[in-house]
Each structure stands twice: as structure tokens, then as C-alpha cells.
Structure 1
């Protein structure tokens, strides 16, 4: 199998005549594994009519604490979409850490690679307005210790079909994880968030980059996704730019372009919609689903998630996605 961009080659054994039953996820087909290396937080969410401006105090109408973080969110989304999923990262030795670990485990994520370190877990302070929009402040905490691979991490990454990365942990760790994946023919998907310049040492090992419009603009200086996409393809073989309620825009170096409109639903809370999309997209690609169908599945999952409050708690399971897509094609 030639990896995207022809940057590295992996030789696969001949496929069996009949696909085996995958006992780990209940599907017929080869056993697949999605590994997430990244962040996990406790989300502290305040719901307001209108977010405060600088120096302003406003009344909130609700508050919740929900396990989240871009890495954990993507892992939970992939697991709920029936992918075998493992998480590599760190939590603090506090109550938040225990809750994050439990949420991941209850969602079907393998947490053997989730370390507990001294100190507080990562937190995300989120304000959600009545239009479903949000603003977020992330405090790294234990995530700041995810700056390198630890015992067993390299082996776990090498034994994967897909590696998901984000930028809420130190770049050094993400770069090391991507390099191990690249050496072992594992597909690397990077969400470049929070938005910041990404070094070539990391991008050179990325197969699929998934920025939103803002992140694409930061990386390229181009505010128009039509112009940003070809600029990004100079660094990586495949790109999906997520466009919120305008859908997603995919392209690759072979010249293929796919525009996938968003499903029309009423947004209640857009927190983690992008992570839901990426996790479900990765689960589909790991199973060998073609890119157009994978984009549609990810978009359906994101549409379901924004109709519910919260991050990880809003993510749909496989049956929800299947039923939603069946209704959408009726």
C-alpha cells in the first residue's frame, strides 16, 4: 500500500478471500485501531445569553463540568463510532483526573496509556451563548507533561491504523508520535488547534490535516478556504477544511476536490463538534471507507452533536449516525 503523497511505502499481506469477523468492534472486516495522542481536560462550561466583553460581568443561566479536551473528545467520538480506540496522555492526581479516566473508559476507550501525574488535570473554561457559539480558555495542567513518548507509547502507535494528534499538548511530543507513526506506515491525522504555526518537522509526517477556517488562515495567511487549501497541500498530502455551518472542503495532491455541505439542524452547543467530526472521520478511514463517505459520516456525527449540550456527552453512537444518515437520504 502506498501512503498518501508517496512519502513512505508499506507492504501488506494479501487480503483473505472472506473478511474475518472483528470481535473487538462487532463488524466484518479487518481489525482496526485508532490511537489518540493528546490532551484531556475537565470542561467548566457556563451558559449565557451573550458572552461578556472585556471588563463586563454577565449573568449565566447554567453551569456544568464535563470531561473533554480535544484529544479525549476525538477518542470518545471514534470509540462511539465503533472503532477500537486507545488514548495516550496524562491526567492529574485530582478528582478531575479520576472523572476523565472514567469517562474515557465508559465510552469504550482503552486507557492503559493514560498516565496519572502529580498536580492538577487540564481544564478548559468555556462560555456558550444562546446561538450555540463558544469561546474557550485552556489551562494545560497535566497535558503539559505530554512532551515525549513514554514506555509503551511507541509500540501502541506502531500497532495502529490511524494516529490522531492535536496541538493542546507540547509540539515536541506530537512530533515524536508522528515520526513513530510515519516509520511504521500508520496514517497520521492532525488537527492544528489551538491555531499556531506548525513546524515542518511535524507536518512532514502528517497525512491528513484538518483545520477549521481560522486555523487554515493562520497556517497560510489566506482567509479564503479556496486559496488556503492548495497552500496547505504544499506541506501535506490531504486536507479537510471544516467550515462550520457551511460544511467541509476536502482536497488532495492528486487534484481531487470534495465539497460536503453541512446538515441543516438547529445548533444548541457547538462545543466539540470539530472533534466529533475528526474522531468519526478517522474511525471510518481506519476501516477503509472512501473519503466522500467518511466525510459524510463525520458531518452527520457533528450535526448530531451540536443538537445536544456539552462536549463528550453530546457525541453520537454508531446506531445514531446510521439512523441519521438513513433519514437524510429518504
Structure 2
């Protein structure tokens, strides 16, 4: 089976799967403006028209998984502002079940995003209602979690709620994929023990392991087998490290031996990389729920994330399986 056939088959397997996916965490209104270049500290630069787009790491992940055919339930909280209806409607449009989302007093989560002409971005996050998701809410939603094949978590929700969700999932045999973002080096031991797979980018991995990033940001020469062992020492037998335009690396450790598989990038002319990492993670969740291997899921995710880089915003840039297949001639 060649690469194109493999990716088409993976999309078909995701679409045909009856296994559920749960994503718990953040939903944000992204206030996005494009500039020629990112401002320096204290500097003002001219920007284009302000756009309000649907975002939030967890909502992005749920949307990406649903758009390629995954059966996704979103858990978390929105506020009582206009953004709440907007965020939920965008998720429904993607095919996400939002019936379990809580409605709380106060503002919904927001981010302020500046994107430059090279598709690089800077992001400021305000938690809003996301910061009010607590252990009681997670416990009340336990039946949704335990009915799933995979659970996606990031750290835009209170840590106690994240740990509670991971514990419920782990005890029920649900595979937990943890995105350590926004990055925290010192994770609760209970969370580490209950997470099956860690997803980080290369710089987050370097911080987690206490290593120096390559001076030229060229990660190809790294001793990835050794890094797999180091990740295992941190409590993660399986992990995925995203490498931006260089693709990704799947790490694993078994019987004291580290191994790795490099996943090549899918070249595109990037417009905006906002939400590409979330598209990657959502695709991993969908692939694993459909009984694809972690490596197969990562190969699929490369195409989903690459497609997302060709459009502005996060959820607005995500494609369906049909759109992605057509875009890359698969």
C-alpha cells in the first residue's frame, strides 16, 4: 500500500468507526489580527481588520476530529456572553456534540492573537469560564468519559479537573492523550500515571527534559532513541513530538529500549499556523479511536494539520476528509 492509499484508508477507517471520543477543556473566542511583522516589546504596528474566530485548544481538537469523521463529545464551560452561543454553534457545525457543555455566569474564554506575514503568531489567553470547570462537573460527566475510546486533555482548564478526568478515563480503560500545553514542567504524578500518551512540541520537550534546543533549530540530528528513554523516565512510555514544518516524531519505550519513528511533513504554503497543533492532536484522537496505530494516526494528522496551515484561524481552517484528500491529491 503506497502512502496515498494508506492515508485514504486511514480517513475511511476514522469515518467508519463507531467509537466515541471525548475532549475536555477550553473553548475560546479568538480575536485575531494580521500584521506584516510581530511587534517588539513596547512597539505598535499596524494590523488588518480584526476577526473574531472560534478557538480554544480543546474546542479546536474536538472540531478537527469531528470534521474528519470522528464521533466527538465536548465537555467544558462557556459563559453567558454573546461569544458562548457563537462558540457552541461553530462546534455543532463541525459535528461535535456539545450537549454536555456547562453554561456559567461571566465571560467565555478568549484569546488575542497576532499573526504575521510569515504565518508566525503570538497568543495571549484569558481563561474566563474555562477556569471554572471543576472536579464536580467532571465527576458528573463521568458517563460520557467512560463511554469513549479516547480522551483528549490539555492544560487550559484547572489542573484538578484535568487530573480527575484522566483518573476516570484511566480507571475505565479509556486511552488518555495529554497535550502539555500551555506547558507545565512539573505535572502532578497522578496525571502522569493516568496519561497513556504525551503530545508536546520540540521546545516543550526540551523544557520537560531539561535539554538545550539545537542552535540552528535543526532537530534531525538528535539522539531520538535516548530521548525516548528520557521521556519514559518522565513517566511517558509513548509520546509524540511535533516539529513544526519538519514533521513529527513518535517515541516509545519497551523493555528498557527506546525507539522512534520520524513522520515526514506535508509541504504547504502556510498562511496561518494558529491551531495546527490542535488539528494534529484532534486527528490523533480520531485515529486512535478508530483503532489506527499511533504511527498511522500521526501520518494522518500530518495531512490534517498541513491543510489547516493553508487557512486563517483555527477551526475556520480545518477541512473535512474529502477536502483534505482533494487538496493533496490522495
TM-score by length of 1: 0.88
Partner of 1:4: none
Query: Which region of structure 1 is more displaced relative to structure 2, 192-201 or 271-280?
Result: 192-201
Residue 274 in 1 paired to residue 267 in 2? no
Partner of 2:243: 243
Distance in 2 between residues matched to 1:273 and 1:243, nearest whole Å: 12
How big is the shift at 1:314? Answer: 0.3
Residues 1:297 and 1:324: Cα distance change in structure 2 (over 3 Å): farther
Distance in 2 between the 1:311 and 1:174 partners? Answer: 23
Instruction: Give the equivalent residue in structure 1 for 2:178.
Output: 190
Structure 1: how far apart are the matches of 2:150 and 2:212?
29
Deviates more, 1:83-92 or 1:290-299: 290-299
- 2:11 corresponds to which residue? none
Give the whole-Å Cα distance in 2 for the aligned partners of 1:250 and 1:26.
24
Aligned to 1:32: 19
Look up the match of 2:106.
Answer: 119
Note the C-alpha offset of 1:228: 4.3
Query: Is the 1:216–1:241 Cα contact (8 Å) retained in structure 2?
Result: yes
Are 1:205 and 2:194 an aligned pair? yes
Secondary structure, aligned partner of 1:79: helix
State the 1:324 CA deviation.
4.5
TM-score by length of 2: 0.88
CA distances 1:71-128 after superposition (whole Å, capped 9, x unpaired): 0000000000100000000001000111001111111100011111000001011010
Q: Distance in 2 between matches of 1:137 and 1:229?
A: 31
Q: Tell me, what secondary structure is at the counterpart of 1:210? A: strand
Moved more, 147-156 or 118-127: 147-156
Alignment of 1:284 with 2:287, yes or no, is yes
Counterpart of 2:6?
none
Counterpart secondary structure, 1:196? coil
User: What SS class does the counterpart of residue 62 from structure 1 fall into?
Assistant: coil
Contact 2:15 2:70 (C-alpha < 8 Å) held by counterparts: no
| Contact residue 155 and residue 179 of structure 2 kept, 8 A | yes
Deviation at 1:26, TM superposition (A): 5.8
State the partner residue of 1:317. 320
- Higher RCO, 1 or 2 (CA under 8 Å, sep at least 6)? 2
- Structure 1: runs of 5+ lacking an equivalent: 1-24
> What secondary structure sits across from 1:61 in the alignment?
coil
Structure 1 partner of 2:66: 79
Aligned match of 2:10: none
Task: Tell me which residue corresponds to 1:173.
Answer: 161
Provide the rounded CA distance (Å) in 1 between the counterparts of 2:286 and 2:122.
27
- The alignment's C-alpha RMSD in Å is 1.5
Runs of 4+ aligned structure 1 residues displaced above 4 Å come to none
Q: CA deviation at 1:293?
A: 2.0
Equivalenced residue count is: 301
Q: For residue 274 of structure 2, give the secondary structure of its aligned residue in structure 1.
A: coil
Q: 1:149, 1:176 within 8 Å by CA — same for their partners in 2? A: no
- Distance in structure 2 (CA, Å) of the matches to 1:237 and 1:61: 45
CA distance, structure 2, for counterparts of residue 192 and residue 228 of structure 1: 17
C-alpha deviations, 1:258-300, integer Å up to 9, x for none? 1011111111000000000010111011101122221111000
Q: Deviations over 1:182-210 (max 9, x none)?
A: 00000000110011122212111001100
Contact persistence 1:248–1:262 (CA under 8 A): yes
